[in-house]
């Protein structure tokens, strides 16, 4: 178990460094270069899981069946309940994340991400969370998304929202095509904290002046790394922790929206959710053309 734990720590460090290196940065007009904000995506910035919505967009294009979509939503819920502590589920998560991109062209994933964001995701952005991000931008601070979703899709979301950039799971590419291997591991849990730490070193950020936002206790390593943290639409564990340590809590869910959020449960590992269904779809659609 010690060897497994150490291997996961090393992979988290590698994933964090890779995510920081892949982040797109754009300085604000009147910069406060030492402070920044970091936002989780699934159920924090967006209702539901971004990769689930991406898979739905693929489904509307006839790239896989509703049965595939259902299976992958169930798998996502299982990971939410048990994947955080079970090495076997972590391994499955990694494999399905690889399935998401293996053999696909980077340009195709980016193009589809842009189309599907505009069609499916844009109206699922939480207005309250978006306003919080804008308040940091207005203060001259840079704002990054931090998510297990593949970095290409994360960048699309960040660009559409006018944010600085995104830290996401980095998949290895060769000649513009995904090899089916990850650089490090999924950007999940401790790997998110490693990515933020690596970005802070690169950008000269003072983490005590930075702020992080998330809905999930899986992100406690990231939330605990910065000087200011806020729980957004929190799960039970994060809500209790936030109360204990005095972090502010914002819940933008009301009535039907709260129910909709719970249906495609955000695993904290968006790549898990989209791995099976979206991977099947992309391979079916693009491999004959590679």
Give DSSP secondary structure letters for the chain. -HHHHHHHHHHHHHHHHHHHHH------SS--TT-EEEE--BTTTBSS-HHHHHHHHHHHTTSS-HHHHHHHHHHHHHHHHHTTT-HHHHHHHHHHHHHHHTT-BHHHHHHHHHHHIIIIIGGGB-HHHHHHHHHHHHTT-EEEEEEEEEHHHHHHHHHHHT-SEEEEE-EEEETTEEEEEESSS-S-THHHHHHHHHHHHHHT--GGG-EEEES-GGGHHHHHHSSEEEEES--HHHHHHHHHHT--EE----THHHHHHHTT---S-HHHHHHHHHHHHHHHHHGGG-
Residue 40: active-site member: yes
* Catalytic residue selected from 32, 40, 138, 175: 40
Name the active-site residue from 30, 32, 42, 108: 42
Q: Let me know the angle formed at the C-alpha of 76 by 72 and 78, rounded to the nearest 5 degrees.
A: 115
Q: Which residues of 144-157 are buried (b: 16+ CB within 10 A; e: fewer)?
A: bbbbbbbbbbbbbb
**Catalytic (active site) residue 42:** yes
For 46, 216, 233, 241, 259, the CA distances from 236, given in Å and listed in that order, are 18, 9, 10, 9, 15
The catalytic residues are 40, 42
């Amino acid at each position: 178990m010690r060897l497994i734990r150490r291997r996961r720590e090393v992979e988290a460090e590698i994933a964090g460094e890779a995510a920081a290196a892949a982040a797109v940065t754009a300085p604000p007009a009147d910069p406060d270069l030492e402070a920044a904000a970091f936002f989780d995506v699934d159920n924090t910035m967006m209702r539901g899981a971004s990769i689930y919505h991406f898979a739905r967009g693929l489904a509307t294009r006839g790239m896989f069946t509703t049965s595939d979509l259902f299976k992958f939503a169930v798998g996502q819920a299982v990971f939410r309940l048990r994947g955080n502590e079970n090495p076997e589920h972590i391994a499955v998560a990694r494999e399905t994340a690889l399935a998401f991109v293996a053999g696909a062209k980077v340009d195709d994933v980016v193009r589809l991400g842009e189309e599907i964001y505009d069609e499916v995701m844009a109206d699922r952005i939480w207005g309250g969370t978006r306003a919080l991000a804008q308040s940091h931008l207005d203060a001259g601070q840079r704002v990054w998304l931090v998510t297990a979703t593949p970095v290409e899709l994360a960048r699309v979301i960040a660009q559409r929202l006018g944010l600085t950039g995104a830290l996401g799971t980095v998949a290895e590419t060769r000649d513009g095509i995904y090899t089916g291997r990850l650089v490090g591991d999924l950007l999940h849990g401790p790997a998110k904290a490693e990515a933020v730490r690596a970005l802070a070193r690169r950008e000269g950020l003072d983490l005590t002046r930075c702020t992080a936002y998330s809905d999930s206790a899986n992100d406690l390593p990231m939330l605990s790394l910065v000087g200011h943290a806020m729980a957004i639409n929190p799960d039970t564990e994060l809500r209790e922790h936030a109360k204990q340590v005095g972090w502010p809590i914002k819940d933008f869910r009301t009535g039907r929206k709260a129910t909709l959020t719970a249906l495609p449960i955000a695993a904290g590992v968006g790549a898990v959710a989209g791995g099976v269904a979206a991977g099947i779809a992309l391979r079916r659609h693009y491999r004959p053309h590679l």
